[in-house]
Amino acid sequence: MKTIVDRDACISCGLCVSLCPEVFEFDDENISVVIQDPVAPENEDCARESEDSCPTNAIHCED
């Protein structure tokens, strides 16, 4: 699965990093970035939970 973060939409709330640290982390600008591409099967659920929880819909998961 591929996961993308829209940098322009990210507000650095940290939900994705706390829900799925195997897939997301903050960069030097405190914007979420994907660190696992493609997302490993065992991390797909937390990546999708991050997508659903993102308050600005900045995360997009694609099969």
Q: Can you give the pLDDT of all 63 residues of the chain as single tens digits?
A: 999 999 999 999 999 999 999 999 999 999 999 999 999 999 999 999 999 999 999 999 999
Domain residues for the domain of 11 are: 2-62
Q: What is the CATH number of the domain that holds 38?
A: 3.30.70.20
Burial of 47 (0-12, 13-18, 19+ CB in 10 A): buried
- Specify whether the CB–CB gap between 54 and 23 falls below 8 A: no
Q: What total number of domains does the chain contain?
A: 1
Global confidence as pTM: 0.94
- Would you state the pLDDT for residue 23? 98
Q: Give the separation between CA 12 and CA 2, rounded to whole angstroms.
A: 20
Q: Give the separation between CA 44 and CA 10, rounded to whole angstroms.
A: 20
**What's the start-to-end Cα distance of the chain, in Å?**
5
Q: What is the largest CA-CA distance in the chain?
A: 28
